[in-house]
Amino acid sequence: MKWSWNIGEFRGIAVYMHATFLILIGFIAVSHLSAGVGVWKTLEGVGFILALFGCVVLHEGSTLSLS
């Protein structure tokens, strides 16, 4: 996994973040700022993407604990 970094562990499973995820966060930030919505709305957009990532990690952790 050349383009992925280990960012931690959840329930004994390594969690990796791919470089394209940082590109997605940058894209969301630039698109919000270029639309002129302001810094607060930009942070809300980036926060939404981070919350979505957190939900995926929680979902995968709960799925693995059931098997």
The residues with which 4 forms a beta bridge, in sequence order, are 18
Span between the terminal Cα atoms of the chain, in Å = 25
State the pLDDT at residue 2. Answer: 87
Q: Percent of the chain having pLDDT more than 70? A: 93
CA distance 5 to 18: 7
Segment 4-10 long-range contacts (CB within 8 Å, at least 24 positions apart): 10/57, 10/60, 10/61
Domain extent for 52: 18-66
- pLDDT per position as a tens digit, 7-35: 998 878 888 999 999 999 999 999 999 99
For residue 12, tell me if it sits in a domain.
Answer: no
Q: Percent of the chain having pLDDT more than 90? A: 60
For residue 5, tell me if it sits in a domain.
Answer: no
**Domain count within the chain:** 1
pLDDT band for position 46 (cuts 50, 70, 90): very high
